[in-house]
Amino acid sequence: MSKKPNLFTGFPAGKVPLTRIPGAFFSDLLPQIDNLGELKLTLYVFWRLDRRISGFNFLRRIDFLDDPILWAPWAMMTPWRSLN
């Protein structure tokens, strides 16, 4: 039996954390993105980089594989990690 996804009911009231997205994303990169998955992954990368404590501006493969937020839509599927 598949689990029904939670419906988005809006942002919470009050102060919420923001994610910085470079202006060049909208003028240079966004026009080139033609796939919803690519757009979601690109926005995820901006979100993760904005929350990094280390100050390094990169993500490793393990950062993607170990993040339950990224994998939530595919929770019933096997992550790539187990295929290696």
Query: Structure tokens of 13?
Result: 């009231």
Is 21:30 a contact under the CB 8 Å cutoff?
no
Query: Structure tokens of 38?
Result: 């690519």
The residue among 69 and 13 whose pLDDT is bigger is: 13
Please write the tens of the pLDDT for every residue from 16-70. Answer: 999 999 999 999 999 999 998 899 889 999 998 888 877 778 888 888 888 888 8
Specify the DSSP element, H or E, that contains 61.
helix 61-65
Predicted confidence band at 84 (pLDDT cuts at 50, 70, 90)? very low
